[in-house]
Structure formats: structure tokens, C-alpha cells
Amino acid sequence: MAIKAIIFDIDGVLADSRRAVVHNTRELMREFGFVVPDEKIEKMSSAHSAETVLLALAPELKGNGALLRQMLARLSQLTAENLHLISPLPVVEAVPSLSKRYLLAVATNRRASANMVLERLGIRHYFSAVITSADAPPKPDPTMLKIACERLRITPGQAIFIGDNEEDRLAGSRAGVQTWLVGDDIKRFMDEKLRGL
């Protein structure tokens, strides 16, 4: 079946956001009076939704939905304030040319900040759909990818999902979407995968 669309994860694929995520999470926990070792924050800072991270770092939030929502709202503010800590990864360079041949979408565990990050990278206008954890359960649940396919009006077999971790691989597999993981060597990934599209 011919590929008609490419669905991207944001963090670790399009954006190097690790420094921002660690910084913002550290600030958030400090502001709300939670003492969490930096190592624990760094370990939880990739692949997980913000809600999952906060519940892992402060389990007592499970019984306090109001405080959790307040912290998530503040985390969105911190993300907006610190967009300068996010930088593009090399895959961003391929987005304009890929958009001429394929429909493009994003499926990310980010929630409110997905469009902000894409704007920061200067590529938001290339994407026909941006699906976040506000639209569906976070990956590895496959729903985000299924919604992306529906919005693009394609079948899962007509899409490639580009992610960077096990949660992405599982989500793609469960959705029936061919999944490519970027891995540590992004230049090699681009040479071997993206240039051939």
C-alpha cells in the first residue's frame, strides 16, 4: 500500500526538549513544595505525559485532582516561558520537502504545549493535524495515531509514524501504522530513512 502520510512525535524527533522538560519540572516541583531529587526528575523527563510524570514524582497527587490540574496549568505556563530552551533536531530540516509529497501530522504526549513547540520550531503550518494527550490517552495507547489517520482521511497502512522510544513503537504497532524509531544517530536515520521517501 502506498504511503500517503507521515506522523511525527515531537520530543526526541523534531525537538530537543530534554533540558526544558527537566528545568520546567524542577521549577514546578519546587514552586509547589515537593522535594524531588534531580536524578529522579531527569529519569522521568522523556517519553511520558506531564500528568504521568507528576504522579510518579509526587504520588500523593493521585488523591488531589484539583492540585494536579493546577500544577499542569502552571507547567504549561513554564513551558511557554522557557521555549528558548527547546531547539530543533535535524529531522526538522526534512519537514518542508516531505510536506510537498505527504500529508503530515503530529501525535505527541504533550498536551497544551504541542502547538507552541511547533511554532517555536517554525514548522506548525506544515501539519494538517496535531493530536495530543488532550485528544486521546497518552502513548503507548494507539488512539492518537488512529485519530491522526482519521483526520488525514487515510488508513493506518498508508502512514509512517516516526518516534524515538518504546512507547512510540508500541503505539504504532497497536495502531497498525509502520513505525520508524529515530534512535541516537539522527543523521544516519535521515540518510537511511527520510532521504529515501
- 47-78 pLDDT tens trace: 678 888 999 999 999 999 999 999 999 999 99
Q: What's residue 169's pLDDT? A: 96
Q: In what order do the strands lie in the sheet with 129-131?
A: 129-131, 103-107, 5-8, 159-163, 178-181
Low-confidence stretches of the chain (pLDDT < 50) are none
**The three grid cell numbers given for residue 69, joined into one nine-digit string:** 490540574
Reduced to 3 states (helix: H, G, I; strand: E, B; else coil), residue 195 is helix
In this predicted structure, what is the pLDDT of residue 45? 65
Q: Report the SS3 class of residue 160.
A: strand
How many residues belong to the chain? 197
Residue-level pLDDT at 4: 96
**For the whole model, what pTM was predicted?**
0.90
Q: How confident is the model at residue 87, as a pLDDT? A: 96
Return the pLDDT at 59.
Answer: 92
Does residue 113 contact residue 123 with C-beta atoms inside 8 Å? no
pLDDT confidence of residue 52: 87
pLDDT for res 190? 81
